Structure 1
Amino acid sequence: MGFLSIVCVLTLVQWWGSGGPLQQDGPFMQWAKWVATFSASALVQLGLLVFLPVLVLLAVCLVVYQHLSPLLLLLINVPVLLYALGRGRLDALVQDYRDAWQDQDKGAACEAVDALRLDGEYSCQTDGQWQGVHAEAFQAVSYRGFERMFSVLFWFAILGAPGALLYRLAAQSARSEALPQGSRSLSYRLLWILEWPVARVYYLSVAIVGDFVACAERWRVLGLCMKSPTPMVVEAFNRGALGLDGALVRELAAGDLAALKEIDQLVSLMSRAMILWVCVAAVIALLLGG
């Protein structure tokens, strides 16, 4: 059921461009506001926000699998996976940045970068150099593509639908303004822990479909690092796979098409890595089925 669920979800994403109508965050935001009213510790709030819904879903999956039909898990996996995927249409957000770059509109380019970025605490500076704007855009697209599908599918493959929900709720909690800072910090830590193994598997996939030698150089520095934030690690792996070492050093002028070429190469790299993941999942499904 796992591979069939992934195929169904990817088909719907191709149709809708995102998780579609199932990505309704209103109930979670209301739940977060309600949990924030408790004078409980950050750990208790995290448990109520993240682990309680995951445990409920796990119980439902076990009941369906053991007492009903395993085929019914498909009716659980697909909507949960669609909800767990990253928000927004990445292709549209990238196109907004490309349009702003071609129009040499730094303000619009920074707005596009902020829309791509998931951490609202930082914003692109319009008074900076075009080179800096592009560097921020490259990292934002790298991480947005990573958390959008790769992390979700990884934890779905490991823990099923509860794993996918665990990742998305951790990400939502880490970025929820309704929660106190202590709870958000703890959620960020949980999110980093969940993303650490995914980033290393992601490295292997982009190294295979990209420049393996250059990517291996990045692994020596960041492969087993236990401190670096995930966006920086994923960006470094992508730059290595694309052979862009030293790309940040050279100057970029407004409207420089070389910058857009890098973004296009990045999107293509992530697409090839996703195809590799699906192919591996198909092989595993065939082996288990046989």
Structure 2
Amino acid sequence: MQLIAILLALGLERLLGQLSWWGQPFLQQTTLRGARRLMPWPAIWRSPVIVPILLLPPMALTAALESQIENPFVSLAWSTLVLLLCLGPRDLADDINSLIAARNAGDTATATRLARALQRGPEPDASHRSLIGALFIQSHERLFGVLLWFFVLGPVGAVLYRVASRLPRLLHQEGETLGAQFADTLHGLLAWIPARITALLFGLAGSLDDALKAWARLRSDPVFNRQAGWSRQTWAILAEIAIGGLETDGEDGGGPALPPTFEATLSEVQSLQTRALLILLAFFAFFATGAWVSGF
């Protein structure tokens, strides 16, 4: 059922992405404002305890509702709905296409705004903050991280990662620095293994040799290992390995190189994400089929 729910959610996300209002992060922002009205105590909001207070209720509600569902078709519909709401907030391909269209139209202001929006969220250290690397991080945050946690824990897992990945930014916007730091640590813990799986998927979908070389370079870089914290290392590894998977052999035989134009690079990022997603779905299908067969 999980695999069917994933396929349905991905298809619905693609269809609903055509609607201008879809993908706006209203739900969590509204929930955060409601929580502030219910708990108008500054001491709580300045404490790390605000993170479990905001994280556990949606998980508990999801688990409670799921436990009441006995019909398998209703369970499938519920899982699909929860996963659909946890993906995004928008499909990365839509944002990339909008960025390409703005650049082609000469709309510098829109292109700059879209590029900055794509670079929001978790970032590695300054030497890895390229837009291309940020796109791969966004791909993990919007898609792969949620899918991996959904496959492990079902709807509760999708809610867990979706809320945990958004809380650092939301709390920073609210000026709650201590809570945001704790939320960022929790996010890093939840992303530590999935981000590396995503990096491997991008490597398998592209140039695996170059991806592994990029990983080896990071592991052997003493400055990077000394200065970057464990959480930042996760995002740097994801960005660098994915970019390594994107590289192709240069026409002059001079070694790996990125596509010749920025637009071509963005298009290849989309293609690489699609191929990585197909590989992940194939693994999901393999494990789901094995579980189904073992039930007989």
Q: TM-score, normalised by structure 2?
A: 0.78
Count of aligned residue pairs for this structure pair: 267
Match of 1:124 in 2: none
Q: Which moved more, 1:68-77 or 1:155-164?
A: 68-77
Describe the shift of the 1:52–1:212 C-alpha distance in structure 2 as closer, same or farther (beyond 3 A).
same
1:236 to 234, 240, 249: 240
Match of 1:181 in 2: 177
Alignment of 1:215 with 2:218, yes or no, is no
Match of 1:249 in 2: none
Equivalent pair of 1:35/1:48 in contact (CA under 8 Å): no
Q: Aligned AA for 2:53?
A: L
Match of 2:255 in 1: none
Q: Which moved more, 1:212-221 or 1:223-232?
A: 223-232
Q: Aligned AA for 1:193?
A: L
Q: Which structure 2 residue ranges, 5 or more long, are not aligned?
A: 251-257
Match of 1:3 in 2: 3
Residue pairs, 1:129-278, within 5 angstroms:
136-176=130-170, 177-178=173-174, 180-222=176-218, 226-243=230-247, 258-278=261-281
Counterpart-to-counterpart distance in 1, 2:102 and 2:23 = 29
Equivalent pair of 1:113/1:136 in contact (CA under 8 Å): no
Question: 1:120 Cα deviation (Å)?
Answer: 10
Cα deviations by residue, 1:78-112 (Å, 9 ceiling, x for unpaired): 11111111212423321232234335554443212
Partner SS state of residue 202, structure 1 = helix
Alignment of 1:34 with 2:37, yes or no, is yes
Counterpart-to-counterpart distance in 1, 2:150 and 2:234 = 19
Provide the aligned C-alpha RMSD in A.
3.2
Question: 1:230 Cα deviation (Å)?
Answer: 4.4
Question: 1:54 Cα deviation (Å)?
Answer: 0.9
Describe the shift of the 1:5–1:239 C-alpha distance in structure 2 as closer, same or farther (beyond 3 A).
same
Cα deviations by residue, 1:196-251 (Å, 9 ceiling, x for unpaired): 111111122122121111111122245797242544332211111122699xxxxx
Q: Which structure 1 residue ranges, 5 or more long, are not aligned?
A: 122-131, 247-251
Match of 2:14 in 1: 14
Cα deviations by residue, 1:37-75 (Å, 9 ceiling, x for unpaired): 3222633211110122212322332343xxx33443223
Match of 1:102 in 2: 104
Describe the shift of the 1:18–1:87 C-alpha distance in structure 2 as closer, same or farther (beyond 3 A).
farther
Q: TM-score, normalised by structure 1?
A: 0.80
Partner SS state of residue 120, structure 2 = coil
> Identity of counterpart residues, as a percentage?
23
Counterpart-to-counterpart distance in 2, 1:265 and 1:21 = 23
Match of 1:127 in 2: none
Q: Aligned AA for 1:170?
A: A
Match of 2:92 in 1: 90
